[in-house]
Amino acid sequence: MASTAQEIRIRPLSELDISRVVAIDERLTGVYRPEVWERRVGYYLRRDPDSCPVAEIGGTVVGFMFSDVRGGEFGLEETTGWIERFGVDPDFQGRSIGRRLFEAVQAQMAGHGVKMIRTLVDKKDSDLASFLRAVGFENAALQALEMKNPAEPPPERSSK
């Protein structure tokens, strides 16, 4: 029996969600990274767990969206909402879970006075960019720039 939108429960992030966030990320990336997610979940629980909804179906977390409200970054003085990371278990994609998570984030950010929501997307991730455009994101006037740190320490040598 297929799940319907009515069976999707959106609620704030809790510490008990770490293992499912790790599992969803591993399914999406192929990399098991519990230490990354333990740090990130801890950060968001301290900041504002209500801005980090998770989606449950049948009591199991099937998606998450981590966002934050900040101001004064990158010379942008307005209060800005940032969506940092999100994911939906591949077995549950195509059921509007990502859209429902985004709508929960939008509502929470509106309560903080946010008028602009931003995120960054790898140019190679066309599926993610397509989803973000579908929920209303557009190309920004801002441009991300990066460089490898020339002062990065050399790799450690093994002593034999």
pLDDT over 60 (residue 22): yes
Confidence of residue 11 (pLDDT cuts 50, 70, 90): very high
Is the pLDDT at 1 greater than 50, yes or no?
no
Q: Which of 8-17, 23-32, 54-63, 143-152 has the lowest mean pLDDT?
A: 143-152
Burial class of residue 48 in the structure, from the number of CB atoms within 10 Å of its CB (0-12 exposed, 13-18 middle, 19+ buried): middle
Cα 90 to chain center, whole Å?
Answer: 15
Say what the pLDDT of residue 158 is: 63
pLDDT for res 91: 95
For all residues of the chain together, what is the average pLDDT?
A: 89
What is residue 145's predicted lDDT score, i.e. its pLDDT? 81
- pLDDT at site 71: 79
pLDDT tens digits, residue range 55-105?
999 999 999 999 999 877 777 778 889 999 999 999 999 999 999 999 999
Share of the chain above pLDDT 90, in %: 61
Please give the Cα distance from 118 to 65 (Å, whole number): 13
- Residue whose tokens read 């020339």: 150
Least confident of 64-78, 103-117, 127-141: 64-78
